[in-house]
Structure formats: C-alpha cells, structure tokens
Amino acid sequence: MRAEASRQLPEAESTGLTIIDADRTDPLSKCVRDALGSYLDNMADHEVKGLYTLVMEEVERPLFETVLEHTKGNLSHAAKMLGMTRNTLRKRLSHYGIER
C-alpha cells in the first residue's frame, strides 16, 4: 500500500483541516457522489435546474446542526471548526432558521 500524500490549505491551517489526494476515496465524498448519482438517475425524465443551490442547502443545514450539537451550541467554537467568522455563522443560521 502506497503512502498517501496530503497537503494543508492555507485557509484551513486554523482548523487543522488536511486535504487528502484526490485519488483516495473519502467516505464523505463517496456518500455525496452516491446521493447525487441517485438523485440524477431519479430525475432522468425531468429537467434539473438549480442543482448547486439545492445541494448546498441540503448539505449546509445538517452541517450546521451537527457542528452546533458537537460544540454544545458554542458559536465561537462552531465557527472556528467551520472555518468562518462567528458573524457569518450567525447569518447562515438565521438563513436556515436554526436556533442554538
């Protein structure tokens, strides 16, 4: 088994996020690909529009809810985990009607 190269993005340094080579199958990426594949297969007879917005909204809400649960509602900690400012997080939570 070969060693996997990884790199850290400059904007991810504060979160400790590391990106693994694209040839590695990441469980989260696989899950997203599988879900999108199923969605597109089911929509084969219909015109698909606004897919980017749909996917982002379907992913962001549970992402924020899960991170807030993990941080016990601590917005500063959640924002740091997400790599965004506390103010940006508050705006996104308001957009989705998520209360901490």
Q: Where are the domains of the chain?
A: 1-48, 49-100
Look at the alpha carbons of 61, 64, 68, 73 in this order and tell me if their dihedral is positive or negative: negative
The tokens of 95 are what? 């957009």
pLDDT of 51: 95
* pLDDT tens digits for range 18-50: 555 555 668 989 999 999 999 999 998 899 999
Give CA–CA dist 14/21, Å, rounded. 20
List C-alpha distances in Å: 94 to 27, 40, 62.
29, 30, 14
With a CB cutoff of 8 Å and minimum separation 6, the contacts of 40 are: 48
pLDDT surpasses 90 at 1: no
What is this structure's pTM? 0.67
CATH number of 49-100: 1.10.10.60
Helix (H, G, I), strand (E, B) or coil at 15: coil
pLDDT of 7: 47
Amino acid at 86: R
